[in-house]
Amino acid sequence: MRNAKLIVPALVVVGAAILIGVFTAVSMGGGHSKAVVKTKTVGGRTILVNRRGMTLYHLSVERRGHFICTTAACLAEWHPLVVARGATPTGAKSLSVVKRPDGRRQVAYKGGPLYTFVEDRKPGDMKGDGFKDVGTWHVIKVAGKSQSTPASSGGSGGYSGGY
């Protein structure tokens, strides 16, 4: 009888621990298995988009840890695509992570930090493409008409529209 009184609470504790472990594994696994970046074909060209299908952009003058979009005004218009510490961006080739001045980890494509544009309201919108301020904002095109990707570290590289 005394052993039965100890076994029942022990089984309840073990069962609760198993359930907590299962729910934790499912929630973590679900978040890590989803691609951070996807490709989408729009108007005959394949572009990079985030999980929600929103167009991703790169600022022409941002390279290798040199950030221009750091002010509140810029960040109100252009939202960095960030990932949690320890997360590896997936969903397209040539993705990496760069550390922003505020310490957040921003997803980059071929070394160029990625952003979404606040005026893009629905998947497929590309209202920020060609927007000029301190540099030029470009959609990241991975295939299709006049491919546009961040410039390589060597050579002339660059964007289809130039700057």
Judge whether 77 lies within some domain: yes
Are 18 and 61 in the same domain?
Answer: no
pLDDT digits (tens, 9 = 90+) for 29-67: 334 447 899 999 988 889 999 999 999 999 999 987 789
Judge whether 148 lies within some domain: no
Domain, as residue range, for 115: 37-143
Judge whether 157 lies within some domain: no
Are 71 and 124 in the same domain?
Answer: yes
Are 19 and 59 in the same domain?
Answer: no
**Nearest of 132, 129, 111, 110 to residue 120 by alpha carbon:** 129
Are 12 and 85 in the same domain?
Answer: no
Indicate the number of domains in the chain: 2
Are 135 and 111 in the same domain?
Answer: yes
pLDDT digits (tens, 9 = 90+) for 104-161: 999 999 999 999 999 999 999 999 999 998 899 999 999 755 444 454 333 323 323 3
The predicted pLDDT at position 151 comes to: 43
pTM: 0.69
Are 134 and 105 in the same domain?
Answer: yes
Are 57 and 98 in the same domain?
Answer: yes
Are 117 and 52 in the same domain?
Answer: yes
Judge whether 150 lies within some domain: no
Cβ atoms within 10 Å, residue 109: 22
**Nearest of 97, 74, 65, 95 to residue 84 by alpha carbon:** 97
Are 99 and 123 in the same domain?
Answer: yes
Judge whether 25 lies within some domain: yes
Are 18 and 46 in the same domain?
Answer: no
- Residue 47 CB partners (closer than 8 Å, separation 6+): 39, 40, 41, 55, 56, 126, 139, 140, 141, 142
Burial of residue 87, with CB atoms counted within 10 A of its CB: 0-12 exposed, 13-18 middle, 19 or more buried: middle
**What's the token pair of residue 85?**
């510490």
Query: Which run of H or of E encompasses 32?
Result: helix 2-33
Half-sphere exposure of 24 (CA within 13 A, CB side): 6
